[in-house]
Chains A and B, each alone.
Chain A
Amino acid sequence: MALATGAGLAKGFGAERVFEDVSFEIQDRDRIALVGVNGSGKSTLLRIIAGLERPDRGTVGLAGGVRVGYLPQEVTFPAGQTLQEYVLGAFQRLLEIENELRAVEAALSAGGTAGAVDALLERHGRLSHEYEDKGGYSYHNRVREVLAGLEIGEERLEQVLESFSGGQRTRAALARLLLSEYDLLLMDEPTNHLDLSATEWLEAFLVQARPAVVVVSHDRYFLDKVAAVTWEMSEGRLESYSGNYTKFAAQKAERLARQEKEYEAQQEHITRTEDFIRRYRAGQRARQARGRQKLLDRLERVSRPRDRAPMRVQIQSTLRAGDTVLATEDLIVAAGMPATPQRHTVAEQGDEAPSSGGAHARSTAPSRLSSGQPVVYAAPRGRAVPPQSVLFRCPDVEIRRGDRVAIVGPNGTGKTTFLRVVTGEVEPAEGRVYLGYGVQLAYYAQAHEQLHPERTALGEIQATKPLNDQEARTYLGQFLFSGDDVFKRVSSLSGGERSRLALAKMALGNANFLVLDEPTNHLDIYARAALEDVLSSYNGTILFVSHDRYLIDALATHVWEVSDGGLTGHAGGWADYLVARERRQAARRQAGLPPRPAGAAPAEGQLSDARPGASQETRRGAKALAARREALARLEAEIGACGERLRILDAQLAAASAAGDAAQIADLGNQHVAATEALARHEEQWLALSETVEGVAVAGD
C-alpha cells in the first residue's frame, strides 16, 4: 500500500530553484535513503512530505489515517520541559485515559446507586479496554527499552531538556519519535551527534521497525545497513535506485558511463550529419540535406552527464619520518589539564638536554627512539590529578610509519583530549608522549579552531603559505571553492565549506603525520568519498577519531577503542574490529558475565593486540626489523665485552711494564691492538645497523 505519494513537486526560494518535477511513492515498510549534495533540497523535500512546508507546485497525498513523524536536524524543545514529560508526550492518549480511569475509580470508591455504579463500571471497562489496546500496560517498558538503546540514563528523566548537549537532544527527540506509533518516519540526519553504539542501535531498530522510513544521512555505513531504496536529489531532480548506498553508487556510476557513451555517439552522429548538410545544402542532394536537417532538428538530444566535480586533491609529504612516529609511556589522559605552553608544530631536531624540574620536560629520546631528537611531552612530576577528571589510562602504545589508526568510542570518553595531548595542545595528566624523529604533525580539529573567523578563505590560505592570488585561487578550486566563494569570510562559511578549507590548509603543510578529529563531520556524502580517496593515497601516517564507519573501514589499519577508562587496540580495519568485539562479547556471555555495551573495552588499560601488523607486508617488515634489533643488541653486548677486555688488558700491561717483562708486554700489546680493532669493527657495524633500524636515512633530506 502506498503510504504517501508526491506528484510534480517543485520548490524554490526566491530566484533559486531547488527542485522541479519531483514525483515519488512511499510504500508500507519502505526504508529509503535520501542522498544528495548540501543544498540540493533534501530537507525541504522531507518538510514538504511532513506537511510543514508547501510546494510551489505539485501535490503530496497521504493514505487515509497515515501518521507521519518528522525529526528535524536541529531539535527545539518547549522551555522548562523535562525529558520525562517530553518522552511521555508520545503517549498523550494513554496519559489521558490513565487520568480518566483514576477519576472513575475515585467515583467507584465513593459508591452510589446500583445504576450509577453500573454506568461507572461500564465506563471503566471501556477505558481499560482502550488502555490495554493502545499498549497501556507495556508502554513503560517500551520507554525504558528505547532510552536504554539510546543510552539515556533513567537518572536524566527529571532533567530539563535545555540543559542537554546536542547529542543528548537528538537522542531525546529520537526516543519520542520512535515511541510514537507513526506509520511513516521522516528523519533528517538522525546520526549527527550519535556515537557508534547508539547509531548501531538505531540501525537495528529501523531495520525491524514497522513504519516506513525516509532518512537523510551522510553516514554511508548507516545507509548501507538501513536502506533498501536510495533516492538521490541531483540537479533539482529525484532519481530512485533500488538497493542501499553501495548499490546506488555502483548503479549511478554505470548509468553515468552509459549516458556518457550515448552522448558521445550522438555527438558524433550530429557532427557527421551537420557536415553532410553543409556539403550538400546547395547541390544535387539539397533535398536529402534538408531532410537530414529536419531529422536533426527533431532529434531528442542526450544531455551530457554531469556529475558533481569531485575534490581533486592529493596530499603527499616529501618528509620521511623515523620508524616510530608516536609512542606513549604510562600515559593518563584527564580532562581540564593546562595547555602546553610551547606548542608543537615540527619535531625539533637540535640537541637539547633534559630540563630538570621544569613543568614541561623536554628530554632526549628513550632508547627506542634513540636515532634522533624527537619531541617529548611529559607531565610534571608530583602533580596530583583528581580521580574524577581522569578520562582513561592509556597502555603503552606505538604508531609506526605508515600506520593508519582509527580511534573509536562513546562520546565523552576522551578521544579528542587524547589527540590534543598527542599534538601537545594540552598536558598529559601523567606519563609521556614521544613524537619520533623527523615527524611533522598537522592537526585537524573538530571545531576548526585553526581557522580565523575574520579571514577570507583566500586570506587563510595565503596566511599559511605565501602564494599569489591566482595560485591561491587555483589551489582553493581543487577544494571546490569557485568564483566569489574564495572571498567569503570563515565565519560565514557553511560547515562543509569550513571543513574543506581546513583540509586545504592542512594539505599545504607538508606534514607526514596527520592527526584528524572527526574529519568527515559536516561533509556531504560526495566530499566524504573524496576525502577517503585523498587519505587512502596519502603516504604518511594517520591518527584519526571518527564515527564514520565507512571511512574507518576504508582507511584504518588499526582500530583503538577508548571506553570504560581504558584503551584497547585491534589490528585490522573496522570489519576485523567488529569480529573481535563480537568474539569478546561471546566469551563474556559464555563466562556468564553481562555483555558490555558496544564500544566497550575488555579491561581497564589493556592493550590486547595493538601492534600486530595489519597486512602481510607490514608483518614481514616488522619481522625484519625485529631481526635487526636483535643483531643490534648482540653487537652492543660485544662492544661492551670488548671494552671490558681492553680495560683488563690495560691493567695487565701496566703490571707488566712495572715488572719490566718485555715478552709479556709485546704479547699483551698485540692482544690490545686486536681488541681495539674488534671494538672499532663492532662500532662500525652497530652504527650502520642502527641507521637502518631507526630510519636516519630520511628521504628527501
Chain B
Amino acid sequence: MALPGEQTMARKRGKKYLEVAKLIDRARAYRPDEALKLVKETSPTRFDATVEAHMRLGIDPRHADQQVRGTVVLPAGTGRQVRVVAFAQGDQARAAEAAGADRVGAEELVNEIQGGWLDFDAAVAAPDMVPLISRTLGRVLGPRGLMPNARTGTVTPDLGRAIREIKGGRVEFRADRAGLLHVPIGKVSFNEQQLMDNFRALVSAVVAARPSGAKGQYVQTVTLASTMGPGIPLDLPATNTLAA
C-alpha cells in the first residue's frame, strides 16, 4: 500500500501475462506438485524462463542472530552455464583447473579484476589467498555478492569439489533486509520431477538454516513464479512436509 503522498507505480501488464494469470486462482494455496505443473504453463516469455522460489521468513534480519544464509546443491542443476574463477596457486590451482574452473590465477587474476574484468558468475578461493583478495577485491566483489566466503563454501582447501558443485547446480540463498529469499530452482524446460527435486532440496536447506534467534512461524509464505510470470501461492503445510 502506498503511503500518503507517495505515488503508486502504474501497473500495466502485458497481454500474455494477463492471459496466463487467469489460470491461477489467487484465492487458493496450491500443493507443490500442482504449483510446479502450473508454473510451467504460466511462463509468458518466449525464452526458457527461470523458475524462482520466493519465501517470506519470520525473521528480523537486523539482528545478528536472525540471519539466513547458506548454499544448496540443486540435484537437477540450475540449467545455467556457470562461469567460475578460482584464486589459487600450485597444486590447488591445478585441482581447480581439473575441476573445470573457467579462470584460475592469483595476483595476475586479482589485477585483471581490479582492471574491470568481471566476466564470471562465481568465485572460489583457496584459504591462503584470502588475505590477498580480502584486501584488494573487497570493494569490487563485495557489492556484487561475488566475494568468496568460508560460510558459503567458496573459501575451501577442496577447490575441486566446490567448483564441481557450483557448476553442477549449487546456489546461494540469503535473506534480504525484509526477510525475503529469492532463489532460482531451475528452468521451465525442466520436467516436473526435476523441479520437484530441486525445490525439495531448497526447502530442506532453508528449514535447516533456521537461525537460533528466529521466533514464531519460520516459513511464512512460499510463492513460485517463472521469469516475468505471475506468482503461484503455495500451501504451507504441504510445502513444509517436503523438508521432512
| Chain A residues close to B by CB (< 8 Å) | 29, 65, 101-102, 105-106, 108-109, 111, 114, 117, 120-122, 124-126, 128-130, 132-133, 136-138, 140, 228
B155: which A residues are within 8 A, CB to CB?
121, 124-125
Contact indicator B135/A228 (Cβ below 8 Å): no
A133: which B residues are within 8 A, CB to CB?
67
16 examples of A-B residue contacts, CB within 8 angstroms? A105-B135, A108-B130, A109-B128, A121-B127, A122-B150, A122-B151, A124-B155, A125-B149, A125-B151, A125-B155, A128-B149, A132-B147, A137-B138, A137-B143, A138-B142, A228-B5
Contact indicator A105/B127 (Cβ below 8 Å): no
- A108 in contact with B5 given A125-B149, A125-B155 (CB within 8 Å): no
Query: A124 CA to B148 CA in the complex, in Å?
Result: 11
Once A and B bind, how many residue pairs between them come within 8 Å at the CB atom? 60
Asked if B16 CB lies within 8 Å of chain A CBs, one says: no
| Chain B residues close to A by CB (< 8 Å) | 3, 5, 62, 64, 67, 69, 127-128, 130-131, 134-135, 138-139, 142-143, 147, 149-152, 155, 157
Please give me the residue from chain A that is nearest to B150 by CB atom: A125
- A108 in contact with B147 given A124-B155, A140-B139, A228-B5 (CB within 8 Å): no
A228: which B residues are within 8 A, CB to CB?
5
A138: which B residues are within 8 A, CB to CB?
142-143
B69: which A residues are within 8 A, CB to CB?
129
Contact indicator B130/A126 (Cβ below 8 Å): no
- A108 in contact with B143 given A124-B155, A125-B150, A129-B69 (CB within 8 Å): no
Query: A138 CA to B143 CA in the complex, in Å?
Result: 7
Q: Closest Cβ of chain A: how far from B68's Cβ, in Å? A: 11
Query: A132 CA to B5 CA in the complex, in Å?
Result: 33
A105: which B residues are within 8 A, CB to CB?
130-131, 134-135
Q: Closest Cβ of chain B: how far from A66's Cβ, in Å? A: 11
Contact indicator B134/A132 (Cβ below 8 Å): no
Q: Contact partner of B142 among A109, A122, A137, CB < 8 A?
A: A137
Q: Closest Cβ of chain A: how far from B39's Cβ, in Å? A: 31
Contact indicator B150/A137 (Cβ below 8 Å): no
B149: which A residues are within 8 A, CB to CB?
124-125, 128-129
- A128 in contact with B134 given A121-B127, A133-B67 (CB within 8 Å): yes
B62: which A residues are within 8 A, CB to CB?
65
Contact indicator B138/A129 (Cβ below 8 Å): no
Contact indicator A101/B127 (Cβ below 8 Å): no
Q: Closest Cβ of chain B: how far from A111's Cβ, in Å? A: 8
4 further A-B contacts with Cβ under 8 Å, apart from A29-B3, A117-B157, A126-B151, are A105-B130, A124-B150, A133-B67, A137-B143
Query: A132 CA to B139 CA in the complex, in Å?
Result: 10
Query: A124 CA to B147 CA in the complex, in Å?
Result: 12
Contact indicator A129/B151 (Cβ below 8 Å): yes
A101: which B residues are within 8 A, CB to CB?
134
Query: A140 CA to B143 CA in the complex, in Å?
Result: 12
Q: Closest Cβ of chain A: how far from B65's Cβ, in Å? A: 11
A130: which B residues are within 8 A, CB to CB?
64
Contact indicator A117/B127 (Cβ below 8 Å): yes
Q: Closest Cβ of chain B: how far from A73's Cβ, in Å? A: 29
B64: which A residues are within 8 A, CB to CB?
130
Please give me the residue from chain A that is nearest to B140 by CB atom: A137
A111: which B residues are within 8 A, CB to CB?
128
Please give me the residue from chain B that is nearest to A65 by CB atom: B62
Q: Closest Cβ of chain A: how far from B26's Cβ, in Å? A: 28
B130: which A residues are within 8 A, CB to CB?
105, 108, 121, 124
Q: Closest Cβ of chain B: how far from A131's Cβ, in Å? A: 8
